[in-house]
Amino acid sequence: MVVSGATSVALGTAYFLDVHSLFFFLTAQVASGVVQSAGWPCVVAVIGNWFGHASSRGTIMGVWKSHTSVGNITGSVLAAAVLEFGWGWSFLVPAFVIAVN
């Protein structure tokens, strides 16, 4: 999550530093995707070990997976709320939320 938050900060500060490099934005997005893709297999392994009973595993995975939808909705609402101040803030505010967590 630290690197994911750092890539969000990098994308947000690019607005304030007037960065217009496609290479910069592609590199930041690829880095973000690589570190975020490593998270889900780890979560599945940990939850699978914590809830070893087959009868409860499906329920807890469903509850856990709902965080993705809630997070996407919340992040979109936060980003849209600050968009009028500049697109950089739509990256920095969610990055702040990641840092607080």
Mean confidence (pLDDT) of the chain? 87
Euclidean distance between CA atoms 74 and 78, whole angstroms: 6
Euclidean distance between CA atoms 53 and 50, whole angstroms: 9
Residue 48, pLDDT score: 80
Residue 62 pLDDT level (bands cut at 50, 70, 90): confident
pLDDT at 54 over 80: no
Q: Between these two residues, 44 and 89, which has the higher pLDDT value?
A: 89
Q: What is the pTM of this model?
A: 0.68
Torsional sign, CA 80, 22, 1, 49 = positive
pLDDT at 25 over 90: yes
